[in-house]
Every structure is written in structure tokens, then in C-alpha cells.
Amino acid sequence: MRTVLFEDLGEIAYDAALSYQETLLKANLDIKSEWYNTPEAARPADVATQHHLLFCSHPHVYTLGKSGHMENLLVNDSRLKELNVSFFKTNRGGDITYHGPGQIVGYPILDLEHFVTDLGKYMRNLEEVMIGMLAKYGIEAGRLPGATGVWLDADVKGRARKICAMGVRCSRWVTMHGFALNVNTDLSYFGHIVPCGITDKSVTSMQQELGREVDVQEVKDILIEQFEEVFGAEVVMELPVTNKE
């Protein structure tokens, strides 16, 4: 069982969270590089990389993945300023999505050589964490063939709606980026983009599905439990983080 260090960053600017992820990623890549460059006879039995799970939320922001298309952003710069929404091109997979208050954004920084060296399986595992958590609330969720993320009524024509978007980057089997779960999210912000580049599907939130505001901390606690179960890991609390703004 691998130990995963957990940090709740609270609300943090998107670029600050990205910088922190890149710092953790680089630290692990340096550890792996040193291990591989050590003569085999002198190497420790295992690579001493650290695994992290970061939770946070962001001020209103649209992010475009490396395979995304600018035409899926439906507003110009002046309208973005009116909406008080930032915009970033980023190095994750996927197209355009929205982050904002009322979401739980999760960034696992994992060395998959200690879990599973299959990026598709890793994505399915992240989806399984969400599916298991949503089931605790009586929300039946699943997958949409050919798409990432977690969906409701994926097999019902005209009813499919995404509740959790996903996009990751992986370098030498170390991951960054992750998922954005709509809990009490203002879904109107998705109306200014083509979410994930998919034109014929909608988005939803736990609040919309349940008809009530949801306790975000309760959801975080269940997500951690599900993460431990799916990934066979022990999630432990890291010391509070400061000065990431």
C-alpha cells in the first residue's frame, strides 16, 4: 500500500496551483533521474518518489488543453473581463473546461510506476473514484464511450450530461492535472464555452441533481475514502501549505 500525501489548498489561483503541481512533478522526475543514473548494484530497491493528492477550488477560469480548439471559447476578451473570468492555455489533455467556486478540483501527483503503468487504466480509476462517491448520494453515474470524465444517463439519447471533467498530463509516468467535480457549481459559466469540445451534451452538478446544496467537506471526505479503495493507497494529511498565492 502506497502513502499519498494530501493537501487541501482551499481557493487558489489557477496559475499558482499549476506552478505548485509542476514543482512536485519536477521533484519526482529528479528523484527518478538520479535513481536511473545510479549504477544498478548501488541503487536502492525502490525509487523514493512521493505521491500527492491536492484538492482545491479556483476563481472563475477557463482552461484550454493542448489538444483543444480556441473556437470552443465562445466569448471575446472584453466579455471575459465583464464575467471576471481568467483564461489559460495549459499542458493537460482534453479541450476547454471551466473551473470556479463550488467545484472540487483534484490534482493527483502520482508515480504510476508504483500503481499501474497504463494511462488509460489510470483515467478509468479516477472515474471509478467519482462513480463510487456519487453512488453514496444515490446518483447513478458512469462513462460515455469515447469520452473521458463521469457522466449521468450516458446511454440515454438527449439526456447525457457531464458531472466531472478530467484531463491529465503524464511525464515519465508521473501525473499532474486531474479532475473537476461540479458540486455546487454555477453552471451558467459553461454556457460561454463548448465544454470539452462536445456540442451535443450538457453539464450538471450534484446540487442540480439532488435539488439541494451539498456539503463540500463531506464530499471531499468520501472522495478520499474512494481514492484509497480504488488505488489501494493510504491518504495521509500533509502539513498546511502557505505562500502558494
CATH number at residue 196: 3.30.930.10
Rounded Cα distance, 141 and 43, in Å: 45
* Per-residue pLDDT band at 161 (split at 50, 70, 90): very high
Per the structure, the count of domains in the chain is 1
Residue 241 in any domain: the answer is no
Task: Name the helix (H) or strand (E) containing 235.
Answer: strand 233-237
Provide the annotated binding site for substrate: 92-99, 165-167, 178-180
Question: Which CA distances in Å does 43 have to 48, 114, 186?
Answer: 11, 17, 51
Could you tell me the pTM of the whole model? 0.91
Task: Name the helix (H) or strand (E) containing 29.
Answer: helix 14-37
Residue 105 in any domain: the answer is yes
Mean pLDDT, residues 187-205 taken together = 87
* Per-residue pLDDT band at 40 (split at 50, 70, 90): confident
Which pLDDT score, from 0 to 100, does residue 239 have?
60
Residue 130 in any domain: the answer is yes
Residue 132 in any domain: the answer is yes
Q: Is 170 a catalytic residue?
A: no
Residue 129 in any domain: the answer is yes
pLDDT digits (tens, 9 = 90+) for 87-144: 999 988 888 999 999 999 999 999 999 999 999 999 999 999 999 999 999 999 999 9
**Domain range enclosing 193:** 2-36+47-236
Burial class (CB in 10 A: 0-12, 13-18, 19+), 244: middle
Residue 242 in any domain: the answer is no
Which pLDDT score, from 0 to 100, does residue 78 have?
94
3-state helix, strand, coil in the chain (%, to 5): 35, 30, 35
Residue 231 in any domain: the answer is yes
Among 235, 181, 232, 233, which residue's Cα sits nearest to residue 208? 181
pLDDT digits (tens, 9 = 90+) for 175-194: 999 999 999 999 999 999 98
Residue 189 in any domain: the answer is yes
Beta bridge partners of 235: 4
SS3 assignment, position 40: helix
Among 90, 197, 211, 234, which residue's Cα sits nearest to residue 139? 211
